[in-house]
Each structure stands twice: as C-alpha cells, then as structure tokens.
A and B are shown apart, each in its own frame.
Chain A
Amino acid sequence: MATTTMAPFRCMMCGHEYQEKVVQGEDVERSCPKCRSNSIRHLKGTKK
C-alpha cells in the first residue's frame, strides 16, 4: 500500500498556505484551492 501523509504547501501566487495529502509515488498536478494557480511550493524541508 502506498504511504499517505499530509504535507504543507504554499501558493506562490496568492500566498495561501494549506495542507494536502501526498501519496508516495503519486504523480498529480497541484493547484491552489483558493486561486487555482499552479505555483505550488512544497514547504517540506524549507525554512519558513
């Protein structure tokens, strides 16, 4: 079974920060739930 975790993301267009499911090995297009932009930065491992 693939491992599912919640990971933090930030929309670089509108600044919205949110948590989303990340399934190991999954290949999905991400978009901001607020503004639909694709400029989504995965915050895992980055200093806020």
Chain B
Amino acid sequence: MTIRRKARYVDLHLCNSCGDCANVCPVTAPDEYQMGLSSRKAVYIPFPQAVPCSYILDMDTCLGNNPIACGKCADVCEKQAIDFDDADELVTREVGAIIVAIGLDVYDPTEMDEYGYTRFDDVITSMEFERLICAGGPTMGHFVRPSDQQRPKRIGFIQCVGSRNPKIGRPYCSNICCMNTIKDTLLLADHYPDTENFVFYQDIRAFGKGFEDMFQRSKEAGTRYIRGLPGDIEEDPETGALIVTVENTTSGRLERHELDMVVLSVGVVPAKDRDKIAGLLTLSKTSDGFFMETHPKLKPVDAPTRGVYFAGFCESPKDIKDSVCQAGAASSRAGALLNAGEIKIEAITSVIDPEACSMCGLCASVCPYGAITWHKKEVATVIEAACAGCGACGATCTFGAITMRHFTDDQLLGQVRAILAEQPEEKVFVFACNWCSYAGGDMAGISRIRYPSTNRVVRTMCSARVSEEMVLEAFRCGAPVVLVSGCHYADCHYIDANRQTVKRVQKLWDKLEKAGVRPERLQLEWISAAEGQKFAKVMQQMEDKRKLVTPDEIAHAREALKPKKKKARPAKKEPAAVTEATA
C-alpha cells in the first residue's frame, strides 16, 4: 500500500505552536473549520484540537514558495521550522487489513433556491449554526445572526433539507438531523430562554436510546413543532425579517411565521472522494452512493473485498454511537484476520490457462472482486486469495482460457447433455444459483408446495457462471424452454456478479431472435432462498411455456443454433515492401 503524505512546509518536530508565523502572515483566507464565518492565515492550525498541534502552510493561499514571494513566516520563526522546500512523500506499507472510514460531506443547499440560502444572510445551515453557538466558534459562543450581529429572537429550523427528497436524487434519511435539531433547540432554550424556536418537519425520527426523552424535553421547553415543510422563504424589505409560509398538516391551516433566522437542517452526502477509494479497493456502492457491505445483517462491517472493513458514515448515515460501535467491530474483525496466521479460502476458484489466454482483459473487467490482474498485451492472472468463485470470468471468456475449479465448462455442459439425452421436449431446463434460487427450490420442497415435476436443475455457484454456450447447448440438445435464475440484486452473494447474467441474457435474447428462435423460450428470474412460493410459481409458468413449444420449433432451434464451423485463418500477408513512392 502506498500512502501519500502531503507536504506541511512546517517541520513537525521543530514547531512549538507559538503562532509568531501566523501573526506576521499577510494572507487571509476563509476558515474552513468555521464554515467560512471567520478567516485564517495561510500558515495556520486547522482547528484548536488538531493532533499534532503544529502549524501547516497552505501553499494554495500562500504568496508562493518558488521563488519565495514573502517569507515573513520563515524570517520570524526562531525554531526555523518553516521549510519551503518540503514536498509530498510516498510511504509504502505492507498491511493485512484496511478499514475504510472516509466520513461524509454535508449537503450544499444552494440548489434548493426556494429556501434562499444564497439570497438571505440569515438563512444558514445547521453546520454554520453549530459554529455560531460554539464557544470555540467565530463569535466565541456569542450567538448572533450574520446580517446585523444582533441576537435572533425567533428561530426556525427546517428539517430534511437534502434528505428524503427523491426530486433532488436524495431519497434516504440522513439519520442525524432530527436529533441534532432537538439538541440545538434544547441548547437555545437553556442559554437563551427568551428565544422562540420553531421546527418545521415531515417526521421526527427519535428512535435511539434516550432520544424520545430529549424530544419531549424540547417540546416542554417551548419549542413549537410544526408538521409541514415550507414552500419558500421571503424577506420583508422593511424589517429584514424572514417570512416563512407553511401548511401545518396537523391542523390543516396555512401558517405564516416571521423569523429572525432560519436554520436549514442539511442532510449528509457520501464523501466526494469515495469513487477513488472504491476504485482502489474494488468496492461497490448502493444507489445512494454509500459503500455496500457484504451482508446487511450477517457481515455489516465487511466489504465484499476480503480484508477491507467499514466504519462510520461511508457505509450509511449513522450517529456517533453507531459509528463508534461499527469502528469497534471493524477493528475487531481486522484484528481477527491479522491474528489468524493462515486463512482458508474456497477451493472453487478460477484458473487461467496462459496458453489459451488471448490477453483481451474481459475477465478482469467483469470480476466483481478485482481478483484478476491484467495489463495490455499480458496474460491475465488470478489472485486466488481474492477470488470468491462466482465464475463470471469463466462464462465471459470465449477462448476457453478460464477453468472454474469444480464447475468447469466440461462438467456443466456434460450435465446439460445428460439431462437432455432422453425426451428433452418434456423437460423444463433450469440453471439455478447455489445461494438463492437453488435454496428457493429447497424451500418450496420442504414447505410441501406443489409444482410441476418436469423441471431439471443444474446448480452453479452464481448465475453469472452460466455462459452463452451452456444456454445454447441446452437448446441444441432439444430443451423447449430454459430458465436462468439467480439472487435478487441486493442479495447477490458475489457483490454484483448477477448483473453480468442480465447482460448475457439480453445478448442471448437478441441472438435467439436473430436465429429465428422465439426469445420467450429463454427466461430470467431472481428467486431468493426464502421464495419457495415464487419458485413454484415460476416452475408452473415455465411448464405452461413448455407446452406451447412445438416439435418443429425444437427441431429448428437444434439446427439454427448449431455452432458455426470456424473458418481457417487466412495466412498473414507479407507486409508490402516500402517503395520510394509510398514512403
């Protein structure tokens, strides 16, 4: 693992944080920690509790180090800790486990113009509010509003800004905003009892330990909770008050509130660098953009890539308590792995025949685990410790260069041929994945659910293992109908390998249609291990489809799908001699 240690331009060991450098620095820039509500110098300590408590020189705002344009900080530093020649350093470490804890970003409400975040000074976000009421904040804890530095008396909090809103592509609940607002109202009631607080909400989600009690205390302290989100905010040109119009859905009345300050309770969004991390560690994401765990119940801190664990917001929005729990669990899981000494892996892994490999790299592109390494004009190689054995690579390779141990092409095609050797027209041919569909069939059986006995099932570890050739071979052997079944999207045991199944079946439908074979004879279904009923229903539907297939259609498919004889490659032409005219 290679880590980039960014240049600080200040020697950590020499700096004693006296602050002389900052005092003489002529540059001021918005202080990111104070949400831009105050300024900092180009040489600064990021925040008061920073570890190590040492100055850092922000070269983006500094007047320059090549050549040194100012150099006042270096002149004044008695310890000579300023080092303008400092550079980024690459550190290499060998690690056995990685914990991903990249945190979150806060939603920027600029796009929700109806709340006037960019138009009105006194419309602020909950993060800005947090800095304003903090003793270490830009106003040293003296709560004032930005427009006139006066203390606001009527404050409105608008919930779910950037959360639970499919219109802006953020349908999820950010989990922390309700309790943060309740905490803020209690804080205001405690410090400034004459303040009137209004909370505009669609639901208050106070489900944690002690949370309901806090909510009740906030109401008892005088906070008015109004069920309904304002449509827009206007400013009174004479008084400068913010006018909030809202439909109170509890009373059914339209209400108008004049407020001194509005706090937008902004949601959280996945960290902006997540795609880089996802690429480095082959992680997958949910539709919300957060990292996907191996299993939501059984392995909630494990990434699908072995040896990688999640802690905190990067996996889903959660509060401090849950983040601490998850961090503890992640470090325990990592510790268990590191102390194991040896790890056991499944015997079902891919093996690449270097002689047959055409170096196309398709296998590497479909591997959900990044377990295949490939570089242009090089034979692909499998990292066996990372391979989980889905078989997506084996089904994708059209050159027969990949063998899946225990589920080889020969073994699976042999099963297809054996099953359809006798009276194929009376059989419904089914490919079922090991973890869900096959188990769904078991569930149907042990639940004593009746379904037609004509189906014949071939088990593969993942539906992605079913290659085009296997499906076509089934039709060539006279199968009237073929079903490919696997896990539902959220349940796929191999991250997202079953997406390859979808792509392959789409291609097969096109291919069948082109060959004059009714594409409806090939079906695709997602059946979970608990869906015995669905398994039985699908088998009945497949049986109904089988009865509609005529002997002529079966005979036509046998002929039309016969593999074409490969033409002998023409001998390579000798490159034409370069003549003077062509040169």
A and B co-occur in one complex: yes
> A19 on the interface (CB 8 Å rule)?
no
Q: Known interface pairs A1-B169, A26-B287. Does A38 touch B526 (Cβ–Cβ under 8 Å)?
A: yes
Could you tell me the distance between the alpha carbons of A39 and B169 in the complex, rounded to whole angstroms?
Answer: 27
Residues from 1 to 42 in A contacting B, C-beta threshold 8 Å: 1-2, 12-13, 15, 26-29, 37-42
CB of B509, distance to nearest CB on chain A (Å): 5
A38 touches B525 (CB 8 A): yes
Could you tell me the distance between the alpha carbons of A38 and B525 in the complex, rounded to whole angstroms?
Answer: 5
Which residue of B169, B499, B524 is within 8 Å of A27 (Cβ)?
Answer: B499
Q: Mark B486-530, 1 if CB is under 8 A from A, else 0.
A: 001110000010010000001001100100000110111110000
> B147 on the interface (CB 8 Å rule)?
no
Could you tell me the distance between the alpha carbons of A41 and B502 in the complex, rounded to whole angstroms?
Answer: 9
> B541 on the interface (CB 8 Å rule)?
yes
CB of B373, distance to nearest CB on chain A (Å): 25
CB of A7, distance to nearest CB on chain B (Å): 13
Could you tell me the distance between the alpha carbons of A27 and B498 in the complex, rounded to whole angstroms?
Answer: 11
Could you tell me the distance between the alpha carbons of A42 and B541 in the complex, rounded to whole angstroms?
Answer: 21
Q: Known interface pairs A12-B520, A38-B525. Does A46 touch B287 (Cβ–Cβ under 8 Å)?
A: no
CB of B286, distance to nearest CB on chain A (Å): 9
Nearest-neighbor residue (CB-CB) of A46 within chain B:
B510
Q: Known interface pairs A13-B541, A29-B488. Does A38 touch B506 (Cβ–Cβ under 8 Å)?
A: no
The binding surface of chain A is classed by DSSP as loop
B525 touches A37 (CB 8 A): yes
Which residue of B287, B509, B510 is within 8 Å of A12 (Cβ)?
Answer: B509
Chain A residues closer than 8 Å to B510, beta-carbon distance: 46
Chain B residues closer than 8 Å to A41, beta-carbon distance: 506, 509, 519
Q: Known interface pairs A1-B169, A27-B287, A46-B513. Does A39 touch B489 (Cβ–Cβ under 8 Å)?
A: no
Interface centre among A2, A28, A37, A39 (most CB of B within 10 A): A39
Nearest-neighbor residue (CB-CB) of A4 within chain B:
B169
Nearest-neighbor residue (CB-CB) of B534 within chain A:
A36
Q: Known interface pairs A27-B499, A28-B489, A46-B513. Does A39 touch B506 (Cβ–Cβ under 8 Å)?
A: no
Chain A residues closer than 8 Å to B541, beta-carbon distance: 13, 37
Q: Mark B378-416, 1 if CB is under 8 A from A, else 0.
A: 000000000000000000000000000000000000000
Chain A residues closer than 8 Å to B509, beta-carbon distance: 12, 41
CB of B288, distance to nearest CB on chain A (Å): 12
Q: Known interface pairs A13-B541, A41-B506. Does A28 touch B524 (Cβ–Cβ under 8 Å)?
A: no
Chain B residues closer than 8 Å to A27, beta-carbon distance: 287, 489, 496, 499
Chain B residues closer than 8 Å to A29, beta-carbon distance: 488-490, 526
Could you tell me the distance between the alpha carbons of A38 and B287 in the complex, rounded to whole angstroms?
Answer: 19
Chain B residues closer than 8 Å to A2, beta-carbon distance: 169
Chain A residues closer than 8 Å to B522, beta-carbon distance: 12
Nearest-neighbor residue (CB-CB) of A25 within chain B:
B287
Chain B residues closer than 8 Å to A13, beta-carbon distance: 520, 523, 541
Residues from 468 to 493 in B contacting A, C-beta threshold 8 Å: 488-490
CB of A44, distance to nearest CB on chain B (Å): 10
Q: Known interface pairs A27-B496, A39-B525. Does A12 touch B519 (Cβ–Cβ under 8 Å)?
A: yes
Could you tell me the distance between the alpha carbons of A12 and B510 in the complex, rounded to whole angstroms?
Answer: 12
CB of A29, distance to nearest CB on chain B (Å): 4
CB of B39, distance to nearest CB on chain A (Å): 33
Chain B residues closer than 8 Å to A40, beta-carbon distance: 524
Could you tell me the distance between the alpha carbons of A29 and B231 in the complex, rounded to whole angstroms?
Answer: 34
Q: Known interface pairs A27-B496, A46-B510. Does A12 touch B169 (Cβ–Cβ under 8 Å)?
A: no
Could you tell me the distance between the alpha carbons of A39 and B527 in the complex, rounded to whole angstroms?
Answer: 12
Chain A residues closer than 8 Å to B287, beta-carbon distance: 26-28
CB of B550, distance to nearest CB on chain A (Å): 18
CB of A41, distance to nearest CB on chain B (Å): 5
Could you tell me the distance between the alpha carbons of A13 and B509 in the complex, rounded to whole angstroms?
Answer: 13
Chain B residues closer than 8 Å to A28, beta-carbon distance: 287, 489
Could you tell me the distance between the alpha carbons of A46 and B525 in the complex, rounded to whole angstroms?
Answer: 21
CB of B566, distance to nearest CB on chain A (Å): 27
Chain A residues closer than 8 Å to B496, beta-carbon distance: 27
Chain A residues closer than 8 Å to B489, beta-carbon distance: 27-29
Q: Known interface pairs A1-B169, A27-B499. Does A39 touch B523 (Cβ–Cβ under 8 Å)?
A: yes
A42 touches B526 (CB 8 A): no
Could you tell me the distance between the alpha carbons of A38 and B501 in the complex, rounded to whole angstroms?
Answer: 12
CB of B262, distance to nearest CB on chain A (Å): 26
Could you tell me the distance between the alpha carbons of A28 and B498 in the complex, rounded to whole angstroms?
Answer: 12
Residues from 154 to 196 in B contacting A, C-beta threshold 8 Å: 169
Nearest-neighbor residue (CB-CB) of B525 within chain A:
A38
CB of A34, distance to nearest CB on chain B (Å): 13
CB of A31, distance to nearest CB on chain B (Å): 8
Nearest-neighbor residue (CB-CB) of A35 within chain B:
B541
CB of A32, distance to nearest CB on chain B (Å): 11
Residues of B within 8 A of A (CB): 169, 287, 488-490, 496, 499, 506, 509-510, 513, 519-520, 522-526, 541
Rank and list the top 7 A-B pairs by shortest CB-CB distance, nearest first: A29-B489, A39-B523, A38-B526, A39-B524, A38-B525, A12-B520, A41-B509
With A29-B488, A37-B525, A38-B526 given, can you name 10 additional A-B contacts, CB distance below 8 Å? A12-B509, A12-B522, A13-B541, A27-B499, A28-B287, A37-B523, A38-B524, A39-B524, A39-B525, A40-B524
18 contacts between A and B (CB under 8 A): A1-B169, A2-B169, A12-B509, A12-B520, A12-B523, A15-B520, A26-B287, A27-B489, A28-B287, A29-B488, A29-B526, A38-B525, A38-B526, A39-B523, A39-B525, A40-B524, A41-B506, A41-B509
Residues of A within 8 A of B (CB): 1-2, 12-13, 15, 26-29, 37-42, 46
